[in-house]
Amino acid sequence: MSLAEKIIVVTGAAQGIGAAYARRLVEEGGTVVLADRNHEGAEATAASLGGPGKALAYPLDVADRGSCEALAAHLGGAHGRVDGLVNNAAIFSTIRMKPFWEITDDEWDRLMAVNLRGPWLLTSVLLPLLRASASASVVNIGSDAVQLGRSGYLHYVAGKGGVQGMTYSMARELGEFGIRVNTLSPGPVYTEVARETVTPAQREAMIAAQALHRAAGPDDMSGVLAFLLGDDSAYLTGQTISVNGGLVHR
Ligand SMILES: NC(=O)c1ccc[n+]([C@@H]2O[C@H](COP(=O)([O-])OP(=O)(O)OC[C@H]3O[C@@H](n4cnc5c(N)ncnc54)[C@H](O)[C@@H]3O)[C@@H](O)[C@H]2O)c1
């Protein structure tokens, strides 16, 4: 149980990969706060997680400063510190593919407020609690859609490119406090949630192009996340870790 005693916040943990992250971190002994805009879903997921650690749901909109501050106040009162922050919440499965010139200003702004400003905002607001930890680790969830230059959802690709760049600078600014920051960058991952950002033909073509010719599931990501949050990765910061079955190389 490498994460025993650690207080870890996972945003966007109601469903999909975030729920799998929460499950794995509880199995590793962590106390995991599932923070999602879909609070009912997060509560249901938290209730389903048995294991050595604990799972608790708390409502959060990462695009809203007041909501981030309410989470910080709760965590400060309950635990006094945060050892792990997983900035996983994003507008993703609800995206409909379209040429970039048809993306509306509102769609662009809303996505950036959640996917790019959100990780910056929540990390900033939780910083005093991260500094109170002896070994804090922040993991920003990127996407290899950036390396692939995937088409059909350019605002998403641009936002995740920003997350990757932000991680490099955050790692430098937080190194003096002993806080590590890395990007976990998944390739295509297939969850219980239907989505329209990949067609069946694209799915098969990408699996064929991978070195490992099988589709990734959420559990292919969660062990890498546990490693990045644990003390075995104590000297690893400012990196992008692609988990893509060998689809693209850096
Ligand atoms: N599934 C993939 O193929 C894939 C590939 C690369 C990267 N990713 C990234 O992995 C992460 C999880 O992906 P997923 O497939 O589980 O996505 P998903 O769309 O199924 O889940 C996203 C979760 O984030 C929550 N959320 C959305 N807006 C929020 C907000 N403003 N505040 C708080 N919570 C909010 C949703 O309620 C949901 O629970 C995302 O960052 C996504 O971009 C996914």
Q: Is 235 a catalytic residue?
A: no
Reduced to 3 states (helix: H, G, I; strand: E, B; else coil), residue 188 is: coil
* Nearest-CA residue for atom 23 of ligand 1: 12
* Nearest-CA residue for atom 8 of ligand 1: 143
Average pLDDT value for residue range 63-69 = 98
Q: What is the pLDDT of residues 8-51, one digit of tens each?
A: 999 999 999 999 999 999 999 999 999 999 999 999 999 999 88
How far apart CA 64 and CA 67 sit, in angstroms, is: 5
Secondary structure (H, E, C), 92-128: CCCCCCCCHHHCCHHHHHHHHHHHCHHHHHHHHHHHH
Average pLDDT value for residue range 77-96 = 98
188 token code pair = 């295509």
Domains of the chain with CATH codes: 7-243 (3.40.50.720)
pLDDT above 70 coverage of the chain, percent = 100
Residue 131 · residue 137 · CB < 8 Å:
no
Checking if the pLDDT of 1 tops 80, the result is no
* Distances, alpha carbon 99 to alpha carbons 79, 104, 106, 160, 204, in Å: 46, 11, 15, 18, 22
The CA 122 to ligand 1 mean position distance, Å, reads 16
Strands (E), the chain: 7-11, 31-36, 54-59, 84-87, 137-141, 180-186, 240-243
Checking if the pLDDT of 174 tops 70, the result is yes
Which one is catalytic: 156, 168, 190, 235? 156
Q: Which pLDDT belongs to residue 9?
A: 98
Residues with CB under 6 A from ligand 1: 11-12, 14-18, 36-38, 60-63, 88-93, 114, 141, 143, 186, 188-189, 191, 193
Checking if the pLDDT of 250 tops 80, the result is no
